[in-house]
Amino acid sequence: MPATGTGPVDFYFDFSSPYGYFAAHRIEAVAAAHGRKVDWHPILLGLVFEVSGGRPLPSIPMKGDYARVDVARTARFHGIAWRQPAKFPVSGQAACRAFYWLAARDVECARRLARALFDAYFVEGRDISSPQVVVDVAAGMGLPGAALAEALSDPAVKERPRTETELAIARGVFGSPYFIVDGEPFWGHDRLDQLDRWLASGPF
Amino acid sequence: MPATGTGPVDFYFDFSSPYGYFAAHRIEAVAAAHGRKVDWHPILLGLVFEVSGGRPLPSIPMKGDYARVDVARTARFHGIAWRQPAKFPVSGQAACRAFYWLAARDVECARRLARALFDAYFVEGRDISSPQVVVDVAAGMGLPGAALAEALSDPAVKERPRTETELAIARGVFGSPYFIVDGEPFWGHDRLDQLDRWLASGPF
């Protein structure tokens, strides 16, 4: 049975989400294997939680303790580099702003920046809530650091993460990572297997 | 690398948990493939939530809506029979009492009853919060219905689910299904892949 669509996989994530980071390492290969593109949508989970009643993992009794074990083991299971950041979680505001500012100019470049920011945080332990760190990561990729630094305090750029998060909430997104393809929602890095089958053979 | 232990997989679940039901269909085969036994521990998630702050899925904004889609799709993904019960969730008190009463007499029989109760609820849509339904399911398997009916109102039998749940909480169990093997915790039906690797080749 053919897949129902040919549209992109919408990939929603928060820059402070470990499972979002894992998904960022894997989603492009899963989609490409079936001829699909991926649209990356960084969002601010803090705003989502105001609607959903969710909370950051470390603050949840019992589940927070488990999550530390699970995240590190899941990284090893999939062979993805991982180091628990000392400061966790952090705000993804600056990273989101940089992403959308760059995406308006060069989507592929913005995607590379997103991956670099994830690695900076979850491998190198750099505090990506700092606009300066975000600019440094971008500059390290050869992107125009000065123009980005200026953009990060532009009111329109500052507003964008909230707008994108509200659009995501309107589509039902309540966690990170969250995927929507052909109208079908998949929540969690551990749903990549079902997403893969969906792309391979259509609705099941 | 060999596994670190030869002990059983402790399998914690609530009789009203869809993902617990899926795990009940799959865990024995996963464990048996690596020469391990499974100890089944039905618990009452309601008591766990008093400690963990968790809530039943249907009551959680956004996540509740998603869960209805995810549960049905996950059943199809794994080829497990599934029908959304009209009354959901229900109390697992009567089912838990029956399980532990029977387990004290015949562990394998109690396991078969647990599977039959899961099927009665999640396939046939019978309300297993009713002691009479639990007795009927047991009697349908050839178990002594009258003795079970009497046992279900015995004070010691009635207390057992709470005691077992408290033991589970003390081990860190906060959801269903939840597995502990060789001291390592695995939460969720979607961690059977990591549990399988753990049993195959030891800690990773």
Residue B2 has pLDDT above 90, yes or no: no
B55 vs A20, more confident: A20
Burial B97-132 (b: 16+ CB within 10 A, else e): bbbbbbbeeeeebbbebbbbbbbbbbeeebbbbebe
Chain A positions touching chain B (beta carbons under 8 Å): 51-54, 60-63, 65-66, 69-70, 73-74, 76-77, 169, 172-175, 184-185, 187-188, 190-191, 193-194, 197, 204
Q: Span B59-76, mean pLDDT?
A: 95
Distance CA A42, CA A68 (A): 23
Q: Span B27-38, mean pLDDT?
A: 97
Strands A184-187 and B9-13: unpaired
* Minimum Cα–Cα distance from B65: chain A residue: A172
Residue B13 has pLDDT above 90, yes or no: yes
| pLDDT at residue B5, rounded to an integer | 86
CATH of domain A9-201: 3.40.30.10
pLDDT digits (tens, 9 = 90+) for A80-97: 999 999 999 999 999 999
Cβ atoms of A185 and A178 closer than 8 Å: yes
**Per-residue model confidence as pLDDT tens for chain A (204 residues):** 444 689 999 999 999 999 999 999 999 999 999 999 999 999 999 999 999 888 888 889 999 999 999 999 999 999 999 999 999 999 999 999 999 999 999 999 999 999 999 999 999 999 999 999 999 999 999 999 999 999 999 999 999 999 999 999 999 999 999 999 999 999 999 999 999 999 999 999
User: Which residues, 6+ apart, have CB-to-CB distance to B112 below 8 Å?
Assistant: B141
Name the minimum distance, in Å, from the CA of A194 to any CA of chain B. 7
CA dihedral A101, A107, A111, A112 (to 10 degrees): -90
Closest in B63, B73, B197 to A194, CB measured: B73
| pLDDT at residue B180, rounded to an integer | 98
Distance CA B194, CA B26 (A): 14
Closest in A70, A184, A185 to B187, CB measured: A70
Distance CA A11, CA A16 (A): 15
| pLDDT at residue A1, rounded to an integer | 45
Residue B42 has pLDDT above 70, yes or no: yes
B70:A187 CB<8 A = yes
Distance CA B159, CA B97 (A): 8
Q: Which long-range contacts (CB under 8 A, 24 or more apart) does B183-189 make?
A: B184/A69, B185/A66, B185/A69, B187/A63, B187/A66, B187/A70, B188/A190, B188/B19, B189/B19, B189/B20, B189/B22, B189/B23, B189/B26, B189/B74
Chain B positions touching chain A (beta carbons under 8 Å): 51-54, 60-63, 65-66, 69-70, 73-74, 76-77, 169, 172-175, 184-185, 187-188, 190-191, 193-194, 197, 204
Task: Supply the DSSP string of B58-92, one letter for each residue.
Answer: GGSTTHHHHHHHHHHHHHHHHT------SS-S---
CA distances in angstroms from B141 to B12, B102, B112, listed in the order given: 23, 13, 9
Name the minimum distance, in Å, from the CA of B14 to any CA of chain A. 17
Cβ atoms of A19 and A189 closer than 8 Å: yes
Strands A9-13 and A38-42: parallel
Closest in B52, B187, B194 to A77, CB measured: B194
| pLDDT at residue A188, rounded to an integer | 98
Tokens of B198: 């753990």
